[in-house]
Structure 1
Amino acid sequence: MSLCLPTYVVIDASTSMKPHEGVLNATLARLHYNLATNPRVSEFAQVCVVAFSTDVHVVIPMSDMEQVPAMPEVICGGRTEYGKTFDRVRECIEQDVSNLRMQGLDVLRPTIFFLTDGGPTDARWQDAFRQLVDRDWPRHPHVIAYGFGGAKRDVLEQVATKALFIADGSDTESALSAAITGLLNTLIASSKTGQMQIATDVRGFQYVEVAQEYVD
């Protein structure tokens, strides 16, 4: 049975990202290209891309990126709604894990790569997050967070369950590109071993070890 890592790239597309929209889309296109041209990785790491602001958009549903012709364009604008995002990703995981198992795949614990340049604009987002990572839910995911721009470390320390990366003052566009490179390196390393191998050396970011509060 083939191993599969359900991977969620959850990326901030709020108003603060509008000046960087071109780089955001170029970076996502690079992510798509690197996965689509590396069949070993794209078969192992099935990917769903989610862009969030006031609304949550599933840009690409759970897919083998080799089968996706191109990355759709993301339009930035709106608030930074964490809670709505975590609710939607939980729904996706519930459906995606079932679908992947129906394809005969041996499904590893889902992993969320959460990229943001700002803090949440909704007050009760923690309620949705607790449901997402509730260890009584058999499909609760790992969360690896990358914060840059105006993102707050103390907030992301509440979000990251596996690893946290905080930009050291690099500009948003450089940080975004480096975060995607780190994400790619993690997926490449993990595909070789069949288990999560986090690339901790990400240019322009400080790696913060996260206490394992959640049981695998």
Structure 2
Amino acid sequence: MKPVIGITSNIDSTAHTLQNTYTQAVIAGGGIPLIIPTGVERDVQHITTLLDGLVISGGGDIAPQLFDEEPIPKLGNVTPERDSIELELVKHMLSLDKPILGICRGHQVLNVAFGGTIYQDITSQITNPILQHDQKAKREHQSHTVHIEKGTILASIATSDKIRVNSFHHQALKDIHAPLIISGKASDGIVEAVESTVHHFVVGVQWHPEALITNEDQVSRRLFEAFMKACGERMATVESH
């Protein structure tokens, strides 16, 4: 049996969209991708019983009302209907202790789900000099480094204290609450990775590993392998009961 992996999608006025690299990364990892649309909040409990893991994909900005802030001028496009379904999915997946991998926006959604906050725009809200986090290069280009915290899930995957990643974001994690811990930071202090200390596998990364797999980046490949392994383990546990 292959694990069924839910993947959240973007929504605009006419269509749901998702970069093909997400589904291909799941397929390459031995899973069956299931794209989840908005508007299915009433059925989330049923959906999450069908899933063995969840990928929260990248996309637009998170509505600041979700972390008790007013919108600032440089806030980008928000999609409240996407915020709603993703937070419901995370809530139920956490209650079932099923694996979650948050990517870019998904990394930020994870933090909000745990009660954390977000910089709505790092260029206007952080006074210290920062790197270029919205790179002007192709998605497969690894533009800056991330320093990995020892003893974390990410450290066991990276097998190094420093990796290179791609970067396409203007929002970032601000306040982080337990059980999330920081597992990676950029050299300018921007939080690039978090993980839960009490769940089987709940990891968020600010970069796009699904795009780097096509560039044969071994850390990205191992990250998806670790996620898929956790999904398989969780599926086996459920079946044994």
Q: Same fold (TM over 0.5)?
A: no
Q: What TM bracket, shorter-length normalisation? A: 0.3 to 0.5
Determine which structure has the larger helix proportion and give its number.
1
Larger-Rg structure: 2
- TM-score, structure 1 length as denominator? 0.39
